[in-house]
Amino acid sequence: MKTRLFLIVLLTVLLGACSSTGGSKQQPSASVDDRSGAGDNGDVNTYGAGEGSGAGMSELDDPNSPLSTRIIYFEYDSSDIQERYRDVVEAHANYLVNNPNVVVALEGHADERGSREYNLALGERRALAVKRQMTLLGAAASQVRTVSYGEERPVESGHDDYSWGQNRRVELVY
């Protein structure tokens, strides 16, 4: 209960900070506990509130806009952007061109098959492929951050073609 209250307060503070600066560079922090071999050093939990959305994001919320598509899926061991996502990438690139203060994070992911470190590299390659496309279409490189989670953050936990297809993706996070 206390944590939740703390989160709400933190969220409010963060949102306030965002709307006054027009865009957020706050990183959500993960909670981390270190423990020594000899015992617990105590819980050092810090909680972030997630990225607050900046001002003027309403266009992004229009369900009929290609901007509402925030996930781009990939083929196995491939970072090629499929034809059907061309409009989506273009719409997001245009949005960035028209909103030069906006920054988007591209989170690259892989399915669980094969080795984890290779998949981390694969997730990055996918994120970079989308970034390259966006910058070719005029977005500034500084507006596009990339991060790879490899196979560490699946959305589907099954071990089948459907789940793998859902997990091979780049998520666009504003």
For other proteins, which stretch binds (CB under 8 A), given 22-30, 56-64, 80-88, 95-103? Answer: 22-30
Residue 75 makes contact with other proteins by CB under 8 A = no
Residue 25 makes contact with other proteins by CB under 8 A = no
Asked if 139 and 39 touch (Cβ cutoff 8 Å), the reply is: no
Among residues 86 and 136, whose Cβ is nearest to other proteins?
A: 136
- Shortest Å, Cβ 75 to other proteins: 14
Residue 78 makes contact with other proteins by CB under 8 A = no
Asked if 53 and 11 touch (Cβ cutoff 8 Å), the reply is: no
C-alpha to C-alpha distance for 36 and 22, rounded to whole angstroms: 42
Taking the CA atoms of residue 124, residue 127, residue 130 and residue 131 in that order, the dihedral angle to the nearest 10 degrees is -90
- Closest listed residue to residue 23, CA positions, set 67, 59, 53: 53
- Shortest Å, Cβ 94 to other proteins: 26
For other proteins, which stretch binds (CB under 8 A), given 10-18, 30-38, 66-74, 86-94? Answer: 30-38
Residue 63 makes contact with other proteins by CB under 8 A = no
In this structure, is the dihedral angle defined by the CA atoms of residues 15, 98, 103 and 105, taken in order, positive or negative? positive
